[in-house]
A = this chain, B = another copy of it.
Amino acid sequence: MSSLSEEADRPRGSLRSRAAALDAAHPLPPVAVTEFPPLPDATLYLDGNSLGRLPMRTSARLGEAVTHEWGHGLVRSWEHWIDLPSRVGDLLAEGFLGARPGEVAITDSTTVNLYKLAHAALRDGLARDRDVVLTDAANFPTDRYVLAGLVRDLGAELVVLSLDSIGGPSAEAVADELRRRSDLANRLALVSFSHVDYRSGALADMAAINRVAHRAGALALWDLSHSVGAVPVDLTGDADETGTGAGSGADLAVGCTYKYLNGGPGAPAFLYVRREHQKRLRQPVQGWFGQRDQFAMAPEYDPAPGIDGFLTGTTPVLGAIAVETSGGLLSEIGIGRLRERSMALTGWLIDLTDAMLAPLGFTVATPRDARRRGGHVALRHPDAYRISRALTEQARVIGDFREPDLLRLAPVAASTTYTDVWDACSRIRDLVERGAHLRLDTRRSRVT
């Protein structure tokens, strides 16, 4: 690292040459080059952790779906739309989630899915006199809000751990809380965390936390929004069958498809319910897409067997088709290869930050151990908000800002080169050196 820092003081071409050498040695997968052509105006997009880019084939597929399937096929197209939730669910299960066929479906939003599964788990807990849900204060807002509403409505208690926000949740922190509050041993119904911290990018040890939760008699529900498509997830593995598998033994999960899965803005989210729990757990939103033999329209609700029983209303077809197409593309490349490249690119970004940006007041808020982080890097800077805005408006470097002082940058594996990362750091340095951000207002815009 010190060598990079020395290089940063040399003529600016030097680190750029190293970026070029890295790109030559580790080029983008050929299919990624075709699918993600450079953006107009040399825009550098490092916000795929918020909204993933549009692959060419997804653009074409959406055009076909609109014109032919909706426009001409019309209601007849439901013959092949009706299975979208489980068909795309199976694709995600195999390609990204380490789940078995029939354990994943796409439906609703992450928020609504979290509500449904947490409700199901908490009711299951209450039936065993377990009335506590555990989460952490750094969890994504919608997760905390949903859980807070649920415990209020169902008469339970939410315990919110205050954790070091860089490290994210850990098995130790959960175990400590169980020691501190001995009543939880008989009261804990559910633990719910995010796999990758939306701010720091810290990656939690899902298997270790699940073990602690299970020993305490609780279920574990994971929000995979910031990990799916960036980090291999092994929800089920084969631990339940042989007792020795690599799976994390997760019970429930939800996640977003418009970040690293490139499903497009507001594309339907997914939910995962471990096969062994599907019969016992009942979600509260009893809709016709979750009904057995849906078009019989029977008088009584009778949930469809398997994961279909966790669906609710009509599938958002266009979004589901986009997830299917983009997810298919990414699984062609392979999550292992994407993860390897992502770890290298985030490492390169951290190295360049140390070398080029640390002198300007930036510090790295993301774990430096690649195995402990997800797909994005958070840089802390007292003026992060204005820098983020100035980068977008004046330097065509698209990252994003998170309160209070974080600039998030995601060098997404399928569409970012080592040179892009250097170029972004270089533009950040130039902009901050010039003080271009200082002319902006510190008042937050509606969308940050």
Contacts and interface: CB of A to CB of B under 8 A. Distances in A.
A137 B299 CA distance: 7
Contacts of A439: none
A341 B327 CA distance: 45
Given A111-B288, A403-B297, A76 B392 contact: yes
Contact of A141 (B77, B297, B317): B297
B145 A301 contact: yes
Copies in the complex: 2
A70 B54 contact: yes
A312 interface: yes
Contact of A111 (B72, B287, B297): B287
A267 interface: yes
Contact of A284 (B76, B149, B322): B149
A154 to B, nearest CB: 8
A34 interface: no
Contacts of A1: none
Given A63-B66, A316-B266, A318-B265, A285 B146 contact: yes
B149 A285 contact: yes
A398 B62 contact: no
A71 interface: yes
A66 B54 contact: yes
- The interface centre, meaning the residue of A77, A267, A313, A392 with most chain B CB atoms within 10 A of its CB, is A313
Interface in A384-402: 392, 398, 400, 402
Interface stretch (A5-13, A211-219, A235-243, A440-448): A440-448
Specify which of A111, A146, A258 lies most central, judged by the most chain B CB atoms within 10 Å of its CB.
Answer: A111
A220 to B, nearest CB: 21
Contact of A267 (B256, B316, B400): B316
Contact of A402 (B69, B110, B297): B297
A444 B295 contact: yes
Contacts of A145: 286-288, 291, 301
Nearest to A78: B447
A79 to B, nearest CB: 6
B54 A446 contact: no
Interface in A369-413: 392, 398, 400, 402-403
Interface of A: 39-40, 45, 47, 50-51, 53-54, 59, 62-63, 66-67, 69-72, 74-79, 81-82, 108-112, 115, 123, 137, 140-142, 144-146, 148-150, 153, 256, 258, 264-269, 284-289, 291, 295-301, 312-320, 322, 392, 398, 400, 402-403, 444-448
Given A77-B265, A265-B314, A266-B317, 8 more contacts: A69-B265, A111-B287, A111-B314, A137-B299, A142-B287, A142-B288, A264-B318, A265-B317
23 contacts: A47-B74, A53-B71, A62-B66, A62-B318, A70-B264, A109-B312, A111-B287, A111-B313, A111-B314, A115-B284, A115-B285, A115-B287, A140-B288, A142-B313, A145-B301, A149-B284, A149-B301, A150-B284, A265-B314, A265-B318, A295-B448, A318-B322, A319-B319
